[in-house]
Structure 1
Amino acid sequence: MDREYKKRIERVIQYIETHLTEKISLADVAKVSHFSPYHFHRIFTGVIGETVNDYIARRRLERAANLLIFKDQLTVTQIALACGFSSSANFAKAVKLHFGFTPSQIRNPEKVKNSKIGKIFSKYGKDFHPRDLYPAHITNEVMIKTKSKDINMNVEIKDLDTQRVCTLVSQRGYEPESIYNAWDKIIEWATNNGIKADEQQRFAFAFDNPTVTPEDKCRYSASIVVGENVSIKPPFSPSEIPKGKYAVVYFKGSPEETIQAQLGIYSDWLPNSGFEPDNFPMLERYLNDARVDGYVEMEIYVKLKDL
């Protein structure tokens, strides 16, 4: 993709993400892109694979599903208004249409018997059941399947200084081949720039929850910590891990089990921690090569702020 096109569309995505709780004017979105309003919508659909309206609707509903699970102190009406819906009735209808489940069913999956197939399957091919959002269910399912006992997980709070990183986007989200392709390229880039493989600090920016968002729509960026004097040119981009307080979970186990550690932070640890997640994506710091070792060893970082 042309560098300028990519830059403009990324600017549009950032604008949408920061205005999801508000009424988003398509004219304003087109203006942010600096493309002609006559052609912007076709450009966005061609690059992202969804119309602007579909993207906004999906992101609002994904945000809502996460709030239904991890913010149980909020009422359905509060969540509806917080996600840009005019009423709880309109919200419930949209949730049912997209996921195939009502908000109350998402909050109480054990009471669910049958449900219609929602748009998330018919449009994106993603199976969805609200019980998959709960770590206890995932833990039981995974443990029965893998019979793995090699899980070592604990939580601590760390203070990090600002770190400059070089990033590379996974073009097809969380699809494994796309992720490995991004890592192979950025590791080679770092090595060519004098950062030895065994000295590379590798972080992934994991923006979305794959139990809610279709795999290829999840936003994922591979990154490696670099010095201020290192030149970064396309297709790589400079970014930073901001200074702050982070909840850190050490995890060792099979790739399928990582989701239990990630969701466990939100459901088991955060509610009694005195903190809430800050407005920054989850980070995964990889400590090994899963393709070589057959297991994942990593630290999961969630940036915190006081309640």
Structure 2
Amino acid sequence: MNKTYKARIDRVLQYIEATLPNKILLADLAETSHFSVFHFHRIFTGIMDETVNDYIARRRLECAVNQLIFKTDLSITEVAHRNGYSSSANFSKAVKIHFGFTPSEIRNPDKIKNSKIGNVSSKYGKAFNPSDLYPNRITNNVMKTTKLKGTQMNITVKERDSQRVCTMASQGGYEPTAIFAAWDKLIAWAENNGIGSSQQERFAFAFDNPTVTPIDKCRYTTSIAIGNDLPVNAPFEVSEIPKGKYAVLYYKGSPEETIDAQLSIYSDWLPDSGFEPDDFPMLERYLNDPRVDGYLEMEIHVKLKEVCG
């Protein structure tokens, strides 16, 4: 992919995320990308494999469903308005079409009787079941089974200083081959710049919830901590892990079961912690190479802020 094109589309994606609840005009997106308004839509679709409208609609719905799951203090109407829907009726219709379930069913999966297959399955090939999303159900029916037996978990609150990192995004979301391809390139870059394998502090920025977002559409960025003076050139980028308080969960177990460990932070720990998640994406700090060891050892970091009244 042309580096300039990718950088311009990345700016568009950042703009969309910042303005999701508001009306987003094609002309504004084209201006952000510095592409002609006459060609922007085709360029976006060619790079993202989704039309602009489909991408925006999907991101709004994914954000809304995450709020249905993790912000149970908000009514369905409040969730609808927070995500740019004019009414709860329009919101419910959109959720039903996309996911195959109504907002009420997503919040109460035990009451589901029958439901049609939504667009998320027919369009993206992803099965969707609200029972796999609801934190309390995950806590009660998964975390207490033998599925995670043998893993080691512990949550603490830690203060982190800001940290400069060199990053490379996965080009295939959470698909393992795409993740490892990004890591191999970044690790080789670090070694070529004097940061040996044993010295590398490796983090992943995990932006999306794979139980809601199709795996290949999830945004995943690899990163390695670097000094302030080390230059970084394309295709790599510089980013920063911000200073602040983080909930840190130690996990050792199967890579496939990390989603259960991640959700345990939200369902088991956060409600009584006095904190809520900040807007920064979840971080995964890797302590080993699962391709070598056959298991995953890592710390899951969630940036925190005080609970608002």
TM-score under structure 1 length normalisation? 0.96
Q: 1:134, CA displacement in angstroms?
A: 3.0
- Structure 1 stretches of 4+ with a deviation exceeding 4 A read 135-144
Percent identical: 68
* Structure 2 runs not aligned, ≥5 long: none
Aligned to 1:41: 41
Aligned to 1:87: 87
> What is the one-letter code of the residue matched to 1:62?
E
Q: 1:114, CA displacement in angstroms?
A: 2.1
Aligned to 2:11: 11
Q: Could you list the per-position Cα deviations for residues 184-214 of structure 1 after superposition, in whole angstroms to 9, with x for gaps in the alignment?
A: 1111111111111111100000000000000
Q: 1:147, CA displacement in angstroms?
A: 4.9
- Is this contact kept in 1: 2:148–2:257, CA < 8 A? no
* Structure 1 runs not aligned, ≥5 long: none
Aligned to 1:130: 130
What secondary structure does 1:245 align onto?
A: strand
> What is the one-letter code of the residue matched to 1:273?
S
Aligned residues: 306
Q: Could you list the per-position Cα deviations for residues 31-87 of structure 1 after superposition, in whole angstroms to 9, with x for gaps in the alignment?
A: 111110000000000011111110000000000110001000100000000011110
Q: Could you list the per-position Cα deviations for residues 130-171 of structure 1 after superposition, in whole angstroms to 9, with x for gaps in the alignment?
A: 011135655645886x75521111111111111000001100
> What is the one-letter code of the residue matched to 1:32?
T
- Is this contact kept in 2: 1:142–1:256, CA < 8 A? no
- Larger deviation, residues 228-237 vs 84-93: 228-237
TM-score under structure 2 length normalisation? 0.96
Aligned to 2:285: 285
- Is this contact kept in 1: 2:206–2:283, CA < 8 A? yes
Closer, same or farther in 2 for the Cα pair 1:148/1:74, shift >3 Å? closer
Task: Give the distance between the partners of 2:254 and 2:192, measured in 1 at CA.
Answer: 31
Task: Give the distance between the partners of 2:143 and 2:50, measured in 1 at CA.
Answer: 33
Task: Give the distance between the partners of 1:148 and 1:55, measured in 2 at CA.
Answer: 35
Aligned to 1:66: 66
> What is the one-letter code of the residue matched to 2:306?
D
- Is this contact kept in 2: 1:151–1:252, CA < 8 A? yes
Task: Give the distance between the partners of 1:79 and 1:268, measured in 2 at CA.
Answer: 22
- Larger deviation, residues 44-53 vs 135-144: 135-144
Aligned to 2:197: 197
